[in-house]
């Protein structure tokens, strides 16, 4: 069975509690459940991993080569300054799509710049959990690797 890796960075584990006016009331567990259901409907195994630690996310990116169809990543705050995650993405041949639950361009100025976007195939922001589904659909329908 084909499989995808979904990575979520810092504070995504606080969904449902953190700034519900921005992120809503649904939890990371709700997101994982929906992703796995969407995957099952499309005969895709969806493996999810969340960490507040940059190195753990980098390890997951490195280990994905040869195991997954691609990666969907919400790097959280690492989006804006983690050149290490950017370089990890650049070092693999898998397609990667960056996803953000909120519209980062309607928020604070520092959130308007992504250091990982230039090494991703695309970016989806501001569509809530549906953004992950759209990224999953893009992967299923053959987003090309870099």
Contact yes or no for 107/113 (Cβ under 8 A): no
Q: 45 pairs with which residues across the strands?
A: 3
Please list the alpha-helical segments (H only) found in the chain: 20-23, 28-41, 54-64, 83-90, 130-140
23: annotated active-site residue: yes
Rounded CA-CA distance 39/49 in Å is: 15
Of 128 and 1, the structure prediction assigns the larger pLDDT to 128
- Tell me the per-residue pLDDT of 133-142, one tens digit each, with 9 for 90 and over: 999 999 988 8
Strands of 71-74's sheet in order across: 44-50, 2-8, 71-74, 96-100, 122-125
What is residue 126's DSSP assignment? Answer: S
> What domains are defined for the chain?
2-140 (3.40.50.9100)
Q: 7 pairs with which residues across the strands?
A: 49, 73
The residue-averaged pLDDT of 26-42 equals 95
- Tell me the per-residue pLDDT of 84-129, one tens digit each, with 9 for 90 and over: 999 999 999 999 999 999 877 766 676 667 999 999 999 999 999 9
Q: How far is CA 125 from CA 76, 112, 117, 144, in A?
A: 12, 11, 12, 20
The predicted model scores a pTM of 0.92
Q: What pLDDT does residue 144 have?
A: 56
Catalytic residue among 25, 80, 100, 112: 100
């Amino acid at each position: 069975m084909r499989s995808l890796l979904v990575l979520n960075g810092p504070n995504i584990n606080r969904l449902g509690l953190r700034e519900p006016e921005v992120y809503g009331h649904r939890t990371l567990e709700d997101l994982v459940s929906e992703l796995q259901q969407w995957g099952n409907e499309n005969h895709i195994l969806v493996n999810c991993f969340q960490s507040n630690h940059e190195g753990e996310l980098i390890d997951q990116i490195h280990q994905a080569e040869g195991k997954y169809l691609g990666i969907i990543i919400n790097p959280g705050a690492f989006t804006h300054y983690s050149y290490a995650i950017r370089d990890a993405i650049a070092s693999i041949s898998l397609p990667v799509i960056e996803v953000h639950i909120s519209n980062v361009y309607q928020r604070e100025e520092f959130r308007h710049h992504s250091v990982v976007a230039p090494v991703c195939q695309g970016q989806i922001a501001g569509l809530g959990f549906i953004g992950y589904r759209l990224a999953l659909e893009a992967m299923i329908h053959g987003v090309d690797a870099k």
